[in-house]
Structure 1
């Protein structure tokens, strides 16, 4: 009888012990949701765990745009602990939705308040700048030499016919860093001129990739000659030994890649330690690893910060930049910009490529043989191909922008948005076909 009575007691004790061990293991795990590649997350995970052997980092890789609904839809108490991303807008949205938690004790007082005129840390204290990023042009030197291509220095260079079929970028709806690149061009050049430039660059593209990683990988291996990328992709390729270069155009912006505590996470105390580590001098020096090649938020003058001798100084680049990035403007029109890009570039790339090829061919012939009628037809072709389908008046209309900020699960809202997107898509298709026709007529006059 004793053995029968003793067995459930032993089982209960074993179960209790197992649960306590599981709870302890969970208490020592920090889940980080991030868009960063393995080269960054593995480096930080190994260094942090070596310094904090009782804490484990669990990496959940999602883009900034995908992270927002994931965090939003996960119950409080079960959410990831830390959000770490270059997507400025994602932090704005999460803070607005009260999904971030202040952790002032994790900050580093040596970090400057601003980079240029842009706050490094959230003025409300919900997130910290952890690294600094600019946006620019990555090139494969061997590819450029083999194709006899001049090295582009400005975004406007990428609109030229010589670069047709040699450029790649990712979709801003799938990549937070590409969205920031697109916004940088729109804010630096203005809405109308910026979209004209983006459509011309899109027409010169060989591909629009699903993820931002696809562009630098393609430039590193010579699949593409030129890529529009965030700086650390280009610099990491260069410092890792690939035959690539990277330049910051004069129209660029420098903004922080940030880190924050998620409200409703599982392990706030351990998460605070990781955030603090990422901002410490040791954590900032990890950014100089050739596989990472990011810019620290700590200035190079901070005592003890070991800076490679040939490293760009992002604070100097920010001082020279022509763009004073407005994150509130970017956030307000985020859904409009990403949707408009997809409907007119991503989903209509073949038609845009065909129109652009025809325009470039007509331009070459016209340069050799001037013809007023052909010049007029070519002007009309460019207008059809490169005029944005949403004008600046609508962009400045708060009621129009509000359509894109509403809950897409609402049937009426979804129907309205679908109607607009279908209109843009069909209009873009018709415009590109007309542009190709007009450019072809211009070429026919120049035989």
Structure 2
């Protein structure tokens, strides 16, 4: 058989492409269709989200083509701080601390986008950079993912606020993420401290931690831990719970009265190879069309454009309406510098020695059911690791501020002191319970 007709399919495709290229060279330049210009987007978002934006953006702006690259936290920080910024045009992610650091390092240029209809705040939380270097694209709300049937079997109502979690009937049935290992949980820990005050907030966390099972890493594992025979409730962020619900899990999600918001952002890199395309994509994400994509059942995020909520399904959580009613008072600017410190203190006090802590709270609750006075025991077990004044000291904050999310490196001497203080308190409370016969 003639070799021309026996070529492999791969060879025939290669020859066809070569022929097409030769023909294109014969077509006058002004008649050729311009190839779409790439817009390189660095993101931590999952493919089920980025693919929808990619398709919609291509339809709206056929002159551009998105090139998605997936990086997380410290990886993105390293790449965008380096020479050439990896050829990236846009950084789009839910990592507020990373955006802060990159702005400080001069990694972004001014977004230069009309912000009409895009608020800078939700309640007390600033969501976009005051100088316009990065803009909020979507919001995630903190709250409680729950199994209604499991709560019913325990005789516990769906919690309306954080204080409702300090219910002895929930012992061993709360899934609690470790703020030192689960990124979103740092703000969650600080919401309680701001909402109830430093002393009462740490006391509440001590009791909640004593009633909980710990989730050491991976935010998605909180919702996975909730269900029949497992936890009845988990402390989470809404889109992670929505993903589990969309996957068929029989769960619900409740927003507490003292709520908190975690914004995601978009920024154009200082050395963007395609700044016009980058700006076009940022505008699209913030447009009404882009914001409505966030309500897709497979994405289920909270838009940052308030006008979009009028067209969303009944019952879709509107953080702007909740803020107008007095919710979302959390001040993220005030809490930002201390998040790493709070997360570390939480870990030393309640994660290290957790089994002992849970046993002590079980004994305290049992003693109170018998009518014993456990106020002194509570006071000792609930004492914070340091005062709010000490936590606000610049020297103390500086020890923790630049610690990457989830990183092991830390000021170990301070952490060892906190561990020792917590162990000493647990030992003393154990003796007090023994002496009371509890």
Of 151, 174, 178, 2:158 maps to: 151
Give the direction of change, closer, same or farther, for the CA distance of 1:123–1:365 in structure 2 (3 Å limit).
same
- Give the match for residue 75 of structure 1: 83
Residue 30 in 1 paired to residue 24 in 2? no
| Contact 1:76-1:263 at 8 Å conserved across structures | no
Residue 291 in 1 paired to residue 275 in 2? no
Between stretches 310-319 and 233-242, larger displacement belongs to: 233-242
| SS of alignment partner, residue 77 of structure 1 | helix
Q: Displacement, 1:162? A: 1.1
Q: What are structure 2's unaligned runs of at least 5 residues?
A: 1-17, 22-33
| SS of alignment partner, residue 291 of structure 1 | coil
| Contact 1:351-1:433 at 8 Å conserved across structures | no
Give the direction of change, closer, same or farther, for the CA distance of 1:329–1:117 in structure 2 (3 Å limit).
closer
- Give the match for residue 405 of structure 1: 401
Residue 44 in 1 paired to residue 53 in 2? yes
Q: Displacement, 1:161? A: 1.0
- Give the match for residue 6 of structure 1: none
- Whichever structure has more helix as a proportion of its residues is 1
- Give the match for residue 4 of structure 1: none
| SS of alignment partner, residue 76 of structure 1 | helix
Q: Displacement, 1:165? A: 0.7
Q: Deviations over 1:73-114 (max 9, x none)?
A: 533331644333334333333222322222213x55232343
| Alignment partners' CA distance in 1, 2:142 and 2:196 | 15
| Alignment partners' CA distance in 1, 2:324 and 2:262 | 12
Q: Displacement, 1:49? A: 4.6
Alignment of 1:187-206 (within 5 A): 187-206=194-213
| Alignment partners' CA distance in 2, 1:46 and 1:26 | 14
- Give the match for residue 70 of structure 2: 60
| Alignment partners' CA distance in 1, 2:324 and 2:229 | 33
| Alignment partners' CA distance in 2, 1:221 and 1:83 | 40
| Contact 1:32-1:82 at 8 Å conserved across structures | yes
| Alignment partners' CA distance in 2, 1:352 and 1:262 | 47
| Alignment partners' CA distance in 1, 2:403 and 2:142 | 31
Normalising by structure 2, we get a TM-score of 0.81
| Contact 2:79-2:85 at 8 Å conserved across structures | no
Q: Displacement, 1:420? A: 0.8
| Contact 1:164-1:205 at 8 Å conserved across structures | yes
| Contact 1:133-1:232 at 8 Å conserved across structures | yes
Give the direction of change, closer, same or farther, for the CA distance of 1:213–1:84 in structure 2 (3 Å limit).
farther
| Alignment partners' CA distance in 2, 1:317 and 1:333 | 26
Between stretches 267-276 and 152-161, larger displacement belongs to: 267-276
Q: Deviations over 1:342-389 (max 9, x none)?
A: 2222333223222222222222223xxxx4xxx2xx333223322111
Aligned alpha-carbon RMSD (Å): 3.1
| SS of alignment partner, residue 121 of structure 1 | coil
| Alignment partners' CA distance in 1, 2:183 and 2:403 | 20
Residue 422 in 1 paired to residue 416 in 2? yes
Give the direction of change, closer, same or farther, for the CA distance of 1:406–1:226 in structure 2 (3 Å limit).
closer
| SS of alignment partner, residue 283 of structure 1 | helix
| SS of alignment partner, residue 352 of structure 1 | helix
Give the direction of change, closer, same or farther, for the CA distance of 1:194–1:269 in structure 2 (3 Å limit).
same
| Alignment partners' CA distance in 2, 1:306 and 1:297 | 14
Give the direction of change, closer, same or farther, for the CA distance of 1:58–1:439 in structure 2 (3 Å limit).
farther
| Contact 1:108-1:276 at 8 Å conserved across structures | no
| Contact 2:174-2:233 at 8 Å conserved across structures | yes
Of 315, 323, 343, 1:318 maps to: 323
- Give the match for residue 257 of structure 1: 264
Q: Deviations over 1:329-354 (max 9, x none)?
A: 22221221121122222333223222
